Amino acid sequence: MVDTIRTKSDLLTLLSDNGTQDISPQDLRDFLVSFLMFGELGFVDNAVEQSALPAGENVVPLDQAGPALGVTINTGSNFLQVPVDGNYRVTFESSYKGTGGSRFTFHVLKNGTSVSRMKRQDTPTVSTEERNVSGSGTVDLLATDEIKLGIQSQPAGGDFTMIQGGIRIERLD
């Protein structure tokens, strides 16, 4: 039988009371796959330059599917998508080079909109300097939500070169 990823409320109903001994091995497998859900989208050792970043949100080019269980990874459109509604931990990291003196803001984007508490800013001193930035937080997601890593340059027009990094998602409830 196929293991099924379930919502928290479905699992609570399924596993509510075992007085009648009707929790099956399949119910337990469904529980495991529901809470061991994760996915990763990354970019490894292949510097890609985005010259003169335009104003507004720009999606960081992540094209390497990492390990995943239950999470949809779309390398063509650079997003992760979960199969069920819930609370998830989203983590991102980036090693990059950028125009010296420009402020770069990394954002977790949920359906194209920045998640306010999931931003990190960094300002390289010189363009040859490799910089590292990371962040983590919890986000409530629907199964239809797309999660991406975004970048902004202040002022607009800063050059940005991704060296390596990625975005990860893990289910919390």
Domains of the chain, first to last: 1-36 (no CATH), 37-171 (2.60.120.40)
Instruction: Report yes or no: 168 and 86 within 8 Å, Cβ to Cβ.
Output: no
To the nearest whole number, what is the mean pLDDT of the chain? 87
Instruction: State the pLDDT at residue 79.
Output: 93
pLDDT beyond 90 at 122: yes
The predicted pLDDT at position 44 comes to 67
Q: In sequence order, which residues have a C-beta less than 8 Å from that of residue 53 and are 6 or more positions away?
A: 151, 152, 153, 156, 157, 158, 159, 160
Q: What is the pLDDT of residues 26-47, one digit of tens each?
A: 888 877 777 777 889 888 666 6
Split at pLDDT 50, 70, 90, the class of 57 is confident
pLDDT of res. 45? 66
- How confident is the model over 9-27, as a mean pLDDT? 78
Which pLDDT score is estimated for 47?
63
Q: What's the whole-model pTM score? A: 0.83
